[in-house]
Structure 1
Amino acid sequence: MSGIMDLLQQFPNLPLAQQQEILNSPGMTPPDGVEPNFDHPANRNDLAIAISVICITLVTFSALIRGYSKLFLAKRVRVEDYLGLLAFGGYVGIACTYYMQLHYGGFFVRQWDVRLRDLQVVYEYAIIFALLYHIPMLFAKTAILLEWIHIFVPNHNRARNRFFWLARFMMILNILMYFSVFIAMCFSCIPLKANWTPWLTGKCIDKEALYITTASFNLVMDVFILLLPQRIIWKLQMTRNKKIGVSIIFSFGILSVLCAAGRLYATQHLSYQTKGDTNYGIGPLYLWSFSEVTCVLLVFNIPGMPMAFTEGRLGSWIRKLPKGMSSKNSRAPSTWPRTNRNINEYHSIEGHSHAHLTSMELSNTKDFRTPYNHGPALGDEGIMYLTDYKVGVNDDLRGYNGSNFASYHGPEA
């Protein structure tokens, strides 16, 4: 190994023919009796493609449904929606670097089955992936915490509780951590090109310690985001089944926790450059990281999706499905509830069933376009609702983009 490193250090001064010979040689000395296979090496590219297609499909679908709800049903866009859009842009970037690894290094391909010239590209895009990874994580987690403040502390401009301050603290910590790690990675080697150019002398930091620290922080942050809303959800005055339904909507973060744990494990067991089979170990790191970012974006998108299936043309079509299916398959009368009330009197509490709010002492001439009325932060009775609402027929509340609302009577004694 030392002889190869000495030869690489002299690479710029070698004849062109010898340089090409070195670049076409294996990226690592193979074990005794093993012949490098550059053309058809053993790999798990099929697994990598399947995971990427599933992840990209889920994120794109959920983002489109959320965007439809916000733009055409709620007709209101907040700061967190713009942050979510930036996070999606970063997600597209890491998807591109993911496929560059698929093309040049492959997934679970031994390093001696990769030419040195391709291995350089692998290292370069690994650095780019690590940098781009922080963009969706920074913007998406900040957007999640901002939206949850709007949901669970609707009067946060006037009344701030423990949830508000915990969310704000986590938001600031998230921003500072990801921003500082992004800067550290930009200067992980001076010049940065020394990361993937072995004959270029540079001053480099301990990237292994940096990556493990980042992965550990991701895991801790994902756990806190998962647990943050659960206490309030289980204090809402609604049936246990509805509590479970709302809790599930806000519990998709458990998937990101699992992926963050997998990423930490892959980071700890990665053989870094010049220390072992880096190309083989980098495959699991890509898979866990890409899946983690996917789950974080789903945590942001999913709570804004249910209204698309309960309101507007799509919601109207879905509401007609049970009636049409029952009348088609049976002569018995449809069990779908009939009513002469205006549909605006109803809204979804868990994204599937309808609930009717009564006993609301509100004038039917009021239109609440500012977010929320009362919420879990207050001791008196109020309504927790995902975004906006206005008073409709018979003094009922109708959500604009929503998903969930529930009667709340303050914290339990």
Structure 2
Amino acid sequence: MSYFSSFVERASPSGNFNGTPPDHLPAENGLHIWRAAVIMPFFTFAFVALRFYTRTYLLRTRKYTIDDYIVMLSMLVCIAHAVLMAIATYNGMGLHAWQYDEELNSRYYLWIGITSEFYVLGLMGFKSALLLLYVQLFGVYAKFRLACYTTLFFCMGYLFCNLTTEFLGCHPIKKKWEPDLPGHCINSIATATFYGACNMASDLVIAILPLTMIWKLQVATKLQKVGLSLVLSSGFAAWAVAVARWGIATYDLVGTEDRTWWAGVSFTLSILEINTGLICACVATLSPLWKLAYAQVKDWTGWTGPCSSKEATWPSFVRKPPYSHSSEETRRPSGPYPNRAVGGHGLPAGRESRVLAYNGSTLTSHYEDEYGLLDASGWHPHGIRDDGSQRSTEGV
């Protein structure tokens, strides 16, 4: 409680609007922005590197797909955004309103525009990466695939509008950072509130979408469903940061005169948001790495449990254990189009995605998904029952 009180006091001191900047920058909230900009990309890069280590060395993937390239580009965007935010702290970002002179005020609004463009690109990156991963896992179900693409279209739509209005919202454009120029600008409060609400709502939808499929899977226990939910719905973390940022930004717009100081809090959360979102997009692809680490720990400790054999704990795509029922015939669907999923939907290029059969209430599985995320039920590989027969696809 004492910390919160001191925080409010720092946010609302009896300032003197004398336009005297601090002797040394960054200062005030600018210092926190600078620290977040320096630290967060290192954490994010570690998860991105683990993702590509898993893809390249554990899964031995020869070709990357569109979500991999999106993650690569998003990592570069996060780094660029962090660098620009750190520079912006030397241009007034995070100071109190009464610490600005006319020249510093102009530089401040210019750097807001520059950093906001990269922030929006970062949002585009992690949202699309998560949605494309969901399509690869559960896209055989037409309604779910439609929901994912609709959400993707909505996200790209409002974010593209955000990109264009960030600099084109004023005429002339220079009026954005030189407000005394003749001309006009769109209502910044209305647009910021609208884009923030869209961002918060889309993050929530993206986090909930996989839950609608996970709880229809025929996995062994509810605990395993909870585990899958935690992995695939890690986007709730990005949503929580988006909610906090939207709340601070809304208060900054309509609830305080010291807008620049509170904007510093919002900008710090924007760094956390796009980096957290990209981390969430990578966490779901690290299942083979976690399984490999789990098997190593069991080897080192000598622990034996219900599934003591290495075949039960070591991913088949890392160490190829001989399965008595696995054969080329059982690994591929029958029919004239062996590479097509149930319902005639093509599998993503470069992926051996799991084919799911849907009977109206539950999902069953026929083939391993590339990351092994759906192997939580104790199924034998390649959709073989204990008696050696294949699961039926009737009712799809």
Are positions 1:288 and 2:269 aligned together?
Answer: yes
Q: Counterparts of 1:113-262 in structure 2 under 5 Å?
A: 113-153=99-139, 156=140, 160-238=141-219, 239-262=221-244
Are positions 1:301 and 2:282 aligned together?
Answer: yes
Residue-pair matches, total: 344
From 370, 374, 387, the equivalent of 1:387 is 370
- Quickly say closer, same or farther: Cα 1:294–1:44, change in 2 above 3 A: same
Paired letter, 1:101: A
Find the counterpart in structure 2 of residue 103 from structure 1: 90
- Contact 1:235/1:411, CA 8 A, preserved across alignment: no
- Contact 2:351/2:370, CA 8 A, preserved across alignment: no
- Contact 1:97/1:129, CA 8 A, preserved across alignment: yes
Alignment TM-score, normalising by the size of structure 1: 0.71
Give per-residue Cα distances to partners, 1:147-168, cap 9 Å, x unaligned. 1111112xx3xxx422111111
- Quickly say closer, same or farther: Cα 1:205–1:226, change in 2 above 3 A: same
From 74, 77, 81, the equivalent of 2:64 is 77
Which stretch shows the higher mean deviation, 97-106 or 373-382? Answer: 373-382
CA shift for structure 1 position 266: 2.1
From 258, 271, 296, the equivalent of 1:320 is 296
CA distance in structure 2 between the aligned counterparts of 1:408 and 1:172, rounded to whole angstroms: 35
Provide the identity percentage. Answer: 18
Find the counterpart in structure 2 of residue 347 from structure 1: 315
> SS of the residue aligned with 1:269?
helix
Q: Which runs of 5+ in 2 are unaligned?
A: 1-13, 333-338, 340-349, 373-378, 383-389
> SS of the residue aligned with 1:310?
helix
Paired letter, 2:70: L
CA shift for structure 1 position 114: 3.5
CA distance in structure 1 between the aligned counterparts of 2:306 and 2:151, rounded to whole angstroms: 46
CA shift for structure 1 position 213: 0.6
- Quickly say closer, same or farther: Cα 1:360–1:222, change in 2 above 3 A: farther
Are positions 1:63 and 2:48 aligned together?
Answer: yes
CA distance in structure 2 between the aligned counterparts of 1:319 and 1:302, rounded to whole angstroms: 19
| Structure of greater Rg | 1
CA distance in structure 2 between the aligned counterparts of 1:337 and 1:32, rounded to whole angstroms: 68
From 397, 401, 404, the equivalent of 2:381 is 397
Q: Which runs of 5+ in 1 are unaligned?
A: 1-29, 327-333, 390-394, 399-406
Paired letter, 1:38: P
CA distance in structure 1 between the aligned counterparts of 2:217 and 2:126, rounded to whole angstroms: 26
CA distance in structure 1 between the aligned counterparts of 2:264 and 2:98, rounded to whole angstroms: 15
Give per-residue Cα distances to partners, 1:238-273, cap 9 Å, x unaligned. 22222111111122211111111122112212249x
C-alpha RMSD of matched pairs (Å):
3.9
